[in-house]
Structure 1
């Protein structure tokens, strides 16, 4: 995701400095005119605005506060826009820690598949001040089509998590219902057509139903890595006392799939749990699991 966003910036803004510990990841960006930095600290010495896209909070903290981290540049008026998906409480804590060393930090997680990162059509949810949003938005416009100012820092992460939970509920429902349809004798191809054209049609069904039929369970983000969205929403539930029984039911399906050994597979692997229970398989004749 970060590669696609950086590529769009490199094609539209100059100069753009980039750093990745995996040098091969920078090659397409350098070919597009970006300039390679030697470290995160080196990037911070040359830039007033830095976008980050990292796996988890420990990596964010390492890039910002580690031995070769951004804070070592000792720059004044340095702004970080972090597109990493984090727990909302982590984003708020990192913002406070950054302020202590003179760095402005805003969260801005993204929604959309990698192709949307390369197309520049992502949905981006900015958490920060109105002034921070105004400063960042001209650059965000090169990376996304739908740029939302979600509210203060942390609100971007809250919005991203809630969006993903609705998506997860959709996938869980598809995973439960399709094996039931097969068990009562419905044709797999016709069920797939229904799920992608009828009132149950959604982005989740359009994207995952064909992959389920092709038994393509190794091409998308792993369930274990995406579990942070569930934790984020559960913490919001606990903070507010909200009742979320549908979410709770989805989490049981999600957890069952991980307990069954599918944690490194995408969310669509939830269907395997219900296929096994009913002795059916949603597939094409030539598909390989």
Structure 2
């Protein structure tokens, strides 16, 4: 099955990179975003810039979503000027937004009543990896739909994983991000302690970024911590989507999750300290405050 006309709604940090890869590959792409500046980035491309969702709904057989939360997804799908009320033919929705698993299941159920296929396919990777087509994509939905859209997904990422039925993509991303978030909190907690104990910052940076504790989180955030760059990354408050997903599973399975619980406490303390709009690396500030030091390059 081919999709000669493809829609893409949501042209933010991640969506713009993914949409660019689709249009650069020669696909006829219809794009939409509420932000005029986001749309302007596609003005000189082969993409068709749509002022309304109805234009996408009436022309496309496949639509990608990349939106901030379930509120925006609901509005795009079911709002008075949304996709569902304006669709003219069979359409499938691939939702790359990060949502709660229960929200994905709800959208799937609502769309199924309209004979519209829905899959959750959250992504992992930074905006640079979105632009480079090197994301990890976690697909939850029909195996048949996955096979149909795989050639398109391969334009967006290096690692394309079929995780199971609808909702499993969100759950898989939550598993990945909880481990990642624990890693970030460990860096934020221990690096200032190392400085307070008398280890040089240069030595800490070299060892933690080369020895057995090396990680993606360290590679990305340690240079930014040292430069006191706490902007330009996703806000730590956004981690709560993943936290809620895994908390619900842990409660359902009556699991022991002491590390996850400790990580959640650090996130909550940082948000209570007014750091919710800063990157996850800003959690280091609450540990620095206690020790009266800063982890920074002189």
- Give the aligned partner of residue 259 of structure 1: 272
- Give the aligned partner of residue 56 of structure 1: 69
Q: Does 1:250 align with 2:263?
A: yes
**1:280 positional shift:** 1.2
**1:101 positional shift:** 2.0
Q: Does 1:228 align with 2:249?
A: no
- Give the aligned partner of residue 36 of structure 1: 49
Alignment match of 1:198 (pick from 200, 206, 211): 211
**1:43 positional shift:** 0.2
Contact residue 139 and residue 163 of structure 2 kept, 8 A? yes
Q: Does 1:189 align with 2:202?
A: yes
1:145-156 equivalences in 2 (<5 Å): 145-156=158-169
Q: Distance in 2 between matches of 1:38 and 1:101?
A: 24
- Give the aligned partner of residue 139 of structure 1: 152
Q: Does 1:283 align with 2:296?
A: yes
Contact residue 51 and residue 83 of structure 1 kept, 8 A? yes
Contact residue 126 and residue 149 of structure 1 kept, 8 A? yes
> Which 5+ residue runs of structure 2 have no aligned equivalent?
1-13
User: Per-residue CA shift, 1:163-190, capped at 9, x if unaligned?
Assistant: 0000000000001101110111111111
- What's the TM-score, normalizing by structure 1? 0.96
Q: Distance in 2 between matches of 1:148 and 1:252?
A: 31
Q: How many residues align?
A: 285
- Give the aligned partner of residue 285 of structure 2: 272
Alignment match of 2:96 (pick from 55, 68, 83): 83
User: Per-residue CA shift, 1:83-132, capped at 9, x if unaligned?
Assistant: 00000000000100111122111100000000000000100000001101
- Give the aligned partner of residue 5 of structure 1: 18
Contact residue 76 and residue 102 of structure 1 kept, 8 A? no
Q: Distance in 2 between matches of 1:14 and 1:161?
A: 31
**1:30 positional shift:** 3.6
Q: Distance in 2 between matches of 1:111 and 1:105?
A: 20
